[in-house]
Amino acid sequence: MTRHNDQSDRDRFGTIAVGAADTETHPHRDGTNDVVPPIHLSTTFEWASGEDGNEHDYSRESNPTRAALEAQLARLEGGEHGLAFASGMAATSTTMLSLVPPEGHVVSSDTIYSGTEKLLTDHMAGHLDVDIDFVDARDPDNVADAVTAGTDLIWAETPSNPLIRLCDIQAIADIADDHDTPFGVDSTFASPYYQAPLELGADVVVHSTTKYLNGHSDSIGGAVITDDSEVSEQLAFAQRVGLGNMLSPFDCYLVARGIKTLPARMEHHEKNAMEVARFLERHERVASVHYPGLESHPQHELASEQMSGYSGMLSFEFDGTLIELEAFVEGLEVFTPGASLGGVESLVEVPSLMIPDEFSRSEASAEIPETLVRVSVGLEDADDLCEDLRTALP
């Protein structure tokens, strides 16, 4: 069970999100007493000698705004070290490239973000000769069968994009421990509010901050949180020196601002998503709904055990032709057809129509149905969302 499952822990999470849980003096309040930490846009800082020298000297290597966000991200996940990157893919690629050597071995869940899959298949396998095993990680035994003494990284995405499948984090973490192999989890769809992979045994947690953490569709970013100091040092070197893909100060400010309302937003996202999922499950033109909050979801019990809520992401399979499906999308007025997710506005995406280059998957077990619709349920009135779907569905 995650640390957020009882009401007192939820209250504590909200305190951390707002930024009032740090017991140390707020350094940004010295002199001006700012309640909101300022944005430090300076690329360089005046050098000072001696023991009291500057903490920051050059913003690529260290920036006060980024340092504050990274500490906040670590506290949210209950980790020791947080790093903020220029995008979710930058966070993912830095993790993989730092932990997996050329000709290494990765075991990955088969249902993952298409960009992550292309990173693994095209770059790491194609250019670095890394051996990639994609497995249906819904069954931990499949992971155990694929891991060897030479495995460099186990990777899972849960809930997964766009099929909303889950992996048993604690069971896979036990497998990783048995082989002394790092285990990374992309927890973007759940957000830190509804899932705590580090507490369940994962070594590394990755987020696209573009999504729920920022929450307002106005910043691209990524984050990595870990308890492992050695892993943190490897990732920090890559972030600041090897790849130089750190998050800009202004984007750090936007993410920190978004985190302040994360608990309230996630509660609203989940409430709306449950109503939308139940509406879709009853509709005659919907073949199936994939939402872990529904008892019909085959992994509902696992979701209830390792998540404290079900978040705002779902997908459904439309019962009809692609032409009818396209007409449905064009008939929507409250939902916006578009990529990304986790913002305050509701979005729909049909992978086969909108991102045909990313639609196919390398593994048959991860095949995406042609009429699958991914839905990011926003913060609008739930009745309006359901009425929009009712009107647009043929």
- Specify the pLDDT at position 105: 98
Residue 186 known to be catalytic: yes
Total-model pTM: 0.92
Q: Is residue 34 predicted with pLDDT exceeding 80?
A: no
- Rounded CA separation 281/294 (Å): 9
Region 31-46 average pLDDT: 81
- Specify the pLDDT at position 364: 80
Of 37-41, 198-202, 246-250, 371-375, minimum mean pLDDT range: 37-41
Region 283-303 average pLDDT: 98
Of 110-124, 181-195, 352-366, minimum mean pLDDT range: 352-366
- Rounded CA separation 147/156 (Å): 13
Top pLDDT among 238 and 6 is at 238
DSSP 326-393: HHHHHT-SSSEE-S---SSS-EEE-HHHH-HHHH--SSGGGPPPTTEEEEE--SS-HHHHHHHHHHH-
Beta bridge mates, 132:
106
Q: What confidence tens digit (pLDDT) does each residue in 134-174 have? A: 999 999 999 999 999 999 999 999 999 999 999 999 999 99
- Rounded CA separation 234/239 (Å): 9
Q: Please compute Rg for the chain using Cα positions.
A: 21
Region 41-64 average pLDDT: 79
- Specify the pLDDT at position 315: 98
**What mean pLDDT, rounded, does the chain reach?**
91
% residues pLDDT > 70 (the chain): 91
Catalytic-role residue among 186, 203, 227, 388: 186
Q: Is residue 206 predicted with pLDDT exceeding 50?
A: yes
Catalytic-role residue among 66, 165, 211, 361: 211
Q: What is the DSSP letter of 202?
A: -
Q: What confidence tens digit (pLDDT) does each residue in 321-338 have? A: 999 999 999 999 999 999
| pLDDT band (50, 70, 90) for residue 368 | very high
Is 280:316 a contact under the CB 8 Å cutoff?
A: yes
- Specify the pLDDT at position 30: 56
Q: What confidence tens digit (pLDDT) does each residue in 104-123 have? A: 999 999 999 999 999 999 99
Domains with residue ranges and CATH for the chain: 9-259 (3.40.640.10), 262-392 (3.90.1150.10)
Considering only CA atoms, which of 297, 291, 318, 300 is closest in space to residue 373? 318
DSSP 58-79: BTTT--HHHHHHHHHHHHHHT-
Three-class DSSP labels, 240-300: HHHCCCECCHHHHHHHHHHHCCHHHHHHHHHHHHHHHHHHHHHCCCEEEEECCCCCCCCCH
- Rounded CA separation 385/394 (Å): 16
Q: Which residues contact 245 (CB under 8 A, 6 or more apart)?
A: 85, 86, 87, 90, 94, 238, 239
Catalytic-role residue among 113, 253, 291, 310: 113
Is 342:312 a contact under the CB 8 Å cutoff?
A: yes
Considering only CA atoms, which of 174, 265, 258 is closest in space to residue 223? 258
- Rounded CA separation 365/165 (Å): 12
| pLDDT band (50, 70, 90) for residue 66 | very high
What's the N-to-C CA distance of the chain in angstroms?
Answer: 41
At 162, give phi and psi (nearest 5°). Answer: -110, 10
- Specify the pLDDT at position 52: 62
- Rounded CA separation 214/342 (Å): 8
Residue 113 known to be catalytic: yes
Percentage helix, strand, coil, to 5, in the chain?
40, 15, 45
DSSP 131-169: EEEEE-TTSHHHHHHH--TT--EEEEESS-TTT-----H
- Specify the pLDDT at position 226: 97
% residues pLDDT > 90 (the chain): 80
